[in-house]
C-alpha cells in the first residue's frame, strides 16, 4: 500500500473536510524500534521501545503538526506563516510552506540552533530572522506580530499543531494492537508534544481503539526546567538547544497530562543527557539529537530511583515504555562530533592504518 501522510491516515480524528486541500510530505508512520540493549541495562522487567520521529520528512516530529497547521493556514486564506523556533519547527514550517506556496518567516535565537536545522530553513526559502535573545522572547514577538498582521502562527499554540501531533499516539497504539504503553517518555520544551500525545491517547481510549492509557513521563533539561522548578527560567541553558526554553506555552496542559495520567515531569542534567545520547547511538545504533536523549536520560534516572519496581504492566508480564526520539541526530552534527572520539589522521599506508586500528606494532626500519 502506498504510504500516506497523517491527515489521510487518521482523517476521521482530525478537523478536515472532503474539500480540504491537504499539504503533506507523507509524514508519520514512523517505526517503533525495540531497544533490547538499553532495556537490559535499565530494568529487568522493562521493555524499552523507540518511536523514531527523526525519520519524518524534515527529520523531526514537528511534521505531524505542520501538515495540519499549513493545510489549515492555506484553507483559511493566509499567504504566509511565521514561527519562533529552537530549530525544528522552523525547518518543518519552511518545508511545508514551500510545498503549499506560502511565504515563511522564522525567528530563531542567534547562535543557539543546530546547523542542520538552520540549513533546512535557509534552503526551503524562509525569511530567517536571528534575534539577539532566546526562544521565549522570539515566541512573544511572533505572538504580537500575528495579532496585528495577517500571518498564520504555526507554533504549537496553534491548536492544529496539537491535532496533527496527537497522531503519534494513535500510531503507537495501532502498532501494539490496541494497547497503549505503560509509560510514554519524552523530552519537554514548549510542552506542545506532551499535550498532543496525551490528547491522542485519551481520544483513542474514548473511541475504544486503545484499551488503556499510559503514564506520561516528561523530562526537561536541568538548566531549562521551569515546570519542574515551578517558575519560569529567565536565562535557560542546555546543550540540548531544542529544549532550551524557560517559559513553555503549554505549561498548564503539560501539568494536566502529567497529573491525569499519574505520571511525572522531572529534569536531567546535561551530563546525563550527553551520556544517554552516546549510549543510544553506541548500543542501539539509533542516532537521535540531544533533546531526544533527555527522555532516555530521564528513564534511566527514574529507573535507578526504583520508580518501576512497584509498577504493574497493563497486559502481559513485562512493563512497556515508549520513548519518543523527537529529532534525527544528523540535525546537530556539531554535538555528535564534540561528544565522540576524534577520527585518527594517518599517512596513506597500510602500516599506519593498522597501527591506528590497533592491529600491529608500528614498523620501524
Ligand atoms: N525534541 C526536539 C528535537 C524538539 O525540537 C523539541 C521542540 C522538543 C523535543 C520539545 O517539544 O516543545 O513540544 O515540548 N522544539 C521546538 C522548536 C521548540 O522550535 O523546534 P515541545
For 96, residues 6+ apart whose C-beta sits below 8 A from its C-beta are 23, 25, 63, 66, 67, 69, 70
Distant-in-sequence, close-in-space partners of 222: CB < 8 Å, separation ≥ 6: 238, 267, 268, 269, 270
d(CA 360, CA 13): 62
Confidence of residue 363 (pLDDT cuts 50, 70, 90): low
Q: Average pLDDT of 104-112?
A: 97
Instruction: Determine the average pLDDT of the residues in 209-235.
Output: 98
Q: Which three-class secondary structure state does DSSP give residue 330?
A: helix
Tell me the average pLDDT across 30-41.
Answer: 98
Q: Which residues contact 139 (CB under 8 A, 6 or more apart)?
A: 84, 155, 190, 249
Give the C-alpha distances (Å, rounded to integers) separating 140 from 83, 94, 107, 114, 341. Answer: 10, 20, 11, 22, 40
| 5 in contact with ligand 1, CB cutoff 6 A | no
At residue 18, the pLDDT reads: 94
Q: What is the mean pLDDT of residues 146-164?
A: 98
Q: For residues 37 and 15, is the Cβ–Cβ distance under 8 A?
A: no
Over residues 162-187, the mean pLDDT reads 98
Evaluate: CB of 86 within 6 angstroms of ligand 1. yes
As a whole number of angstroms, the distance between CA 199 and CA 142 comes to: 25
Percent of the chain's residues with pLDDT above 70: 98
Nearest residue to 78 (alpha-carbon basis) of 149, 10, 20: 149
- Residue 106, pLDDT > 70, answer yes
DSSP at 31: P
Q: Is the pLDDT of residue 254 over 80?
A: yes
- Min mean pLDDT across 93-102, 120-129, 176-185, 356-365 is at 356-365
Mean pLDDT of the chain: 97
pLDDT over 60 (residue 362) = no
Residue whose Cα lies nearest atom 15 of ligand 1: it is 242
Residue-level pLDDT at 315? 84
Beta bridge partners of 108: 130
How many angstroms is it from 189 CA to the middle of ligand 1? 5
| 339/333 Cα distance (integer angstroms) | 10
| pLDDT on residue 364 | 63
57: Cβ below 6 Å to ligand 1? no
- pLDDT tops 60 at residue 216: yes
pLDDT at 159 > cutoff 70: yes
Task: Answer yes or no: is the C-beta of 335 below 6 A from any ligand 1 atom.
Answer: no
pLDDT at 176: 97
Residue 301 buriedness (CB in 10 A; 0-12 / 13-18 / 19+): middle
- Map grid coordinates 534552503 to a residue: 123
Name the pLDDT band for 54 (thresholds 50, 70, 90): very high
CA of 191 to the centre of ligand 1 (A): 8
Could you tell me what percent of the chain has a pLDDT over 90? 97
The pLDDT score that the predictor gives to residue 316 is 79
Q: What is the mean pLDDT of the segment spanning 279-294?
A: 98
Q: Which residues pair with 215 in a beta bridge?
A: 183
CB 141 within 8 A of CB 108: no
Q: Which atom of ligand 1 is nearest to the CA of 331?
A: 3
The pLDDT value given to residue 361: 66
Q: Which residue has the higher pLDDT, 212 or 2?
A: 212
**CA 243 to ligand 1 center in whole angstroms:** 6
| In contact, 289 and 242? CB cutoff 8 Å | yes
CB neighbour list of residue 304: distance below 8 Å, 6 or more residues apart: none
| pLDDT score at 2 | 73
Instruction: Please write the tens of the pLDDT for every residue from 319-351.
Output: 999 999 999 999 999 999 999 999 999 999 999
pLDDT at 127: 98
Give the nearest ligand 1 atom to 254 CA.
14
**CA 1 – CA 159 distance, rounded (Å):** 30
Amino acid at each position: 500500500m502506498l504510504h500516506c501522510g497523517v491527515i489521510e491516515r487518521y482523517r476521521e480524528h482530525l478537523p478536515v473536510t472532503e474539500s480540504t486541500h491537504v499539504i503533506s510530505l507523507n509524514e508519520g508512520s514512523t517505526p517503533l524500534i525495540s531497544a533490547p540493549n538499553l532495556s537490559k541495562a535499565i530494568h529487568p522487567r522493562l521493555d524499552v521501545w523507540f518511536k523514531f520521529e527523526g525519520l519524518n520528512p524534515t527529520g523531526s516530529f514537528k511534521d505531524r503538526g505542520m501538515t495540519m497547521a499549513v493545510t489549515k493556514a492555506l484553507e483559511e486564506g493566509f499567504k504566509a506563516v511565521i514561527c519562533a523556533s529552537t530549530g525544528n519547527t522552523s525547518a518543518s514550517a519552511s518545508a511545508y510552506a514551500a510545498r503549499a506556496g506560502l511565504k515563511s518567516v522564522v525567528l530563531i535565537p542567534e547562535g543557539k540552533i543546530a546547523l542542520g536545522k538552520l540549513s533546512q530553513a535557509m534552503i526551503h526559502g524562509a525569511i530567517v530572522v536571528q534575534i539577539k535573545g532566546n526562544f521565549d522572547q522570539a515566541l512573544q514577538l511572533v505572538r504580537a506580530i500575528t495579532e496585528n498582521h495577517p500571518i498564520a502562527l504555526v507554533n504549537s499554540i496553534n491548536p492544529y499543531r496539537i491535532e496533527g501531533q496527537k497522531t503519534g499516539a494513535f500510531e503507537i497504539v495501532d502498532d501494539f494492537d490496541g494497547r497503549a504503553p505503560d509509560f510514554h517518555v519524552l523530552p519537554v520544551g514548549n510542552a506542545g508534544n506532551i499535550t498532543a500525545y496525551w490528547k491522542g491517547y485519551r481520544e483513542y481510549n474514548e473511541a475504544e481503539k486503545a484499551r488503556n492509557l499510559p503514564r506520561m513521563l516528561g523530562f526537561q533539561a536541568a538548566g531549562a526546567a521551569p515546570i519542574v522548578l515551578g517558575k519560569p527560567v529567565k536565562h535557560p541553558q542546555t546543550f540540548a538547544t531544542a529544549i532550551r526554553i524557560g517559559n513553555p506555552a503549554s505549561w498548564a496542559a503539560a501539568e494536566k497530562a502529567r497529573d491525569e495520567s499519574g505520571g511525572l515531569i522531572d529534569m536531567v542534567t546535561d551530563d546525563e543527557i550527553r551520556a544517554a545520547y552516546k549510549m543510544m547511538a553506541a548500543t542501539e545504533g539509533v542516532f537521535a539529537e540531544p533533546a531526544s536523549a533527555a527522555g532516555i536520560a530521564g528513564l534511566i534516572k527514574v529507573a535507578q530511583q526504583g520508580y518501576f519496581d512497584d509498577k504493574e504492566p497493563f497486559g502481559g508480564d513485562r512493563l512497556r515504555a515508549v520513548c519518543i526520539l523527537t529529532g534525527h541526530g544528523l540535525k546537530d552534527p556539531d554535538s555528535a562530533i564534540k561528544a565522540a572520539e576524534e577520527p585518527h589522521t594517518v599517512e596513506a599506508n597500510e602500516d599506519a592504518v593498522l597501527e591506528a586500528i590497533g592491529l600491529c606494532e608500528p614498523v620501524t626500519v
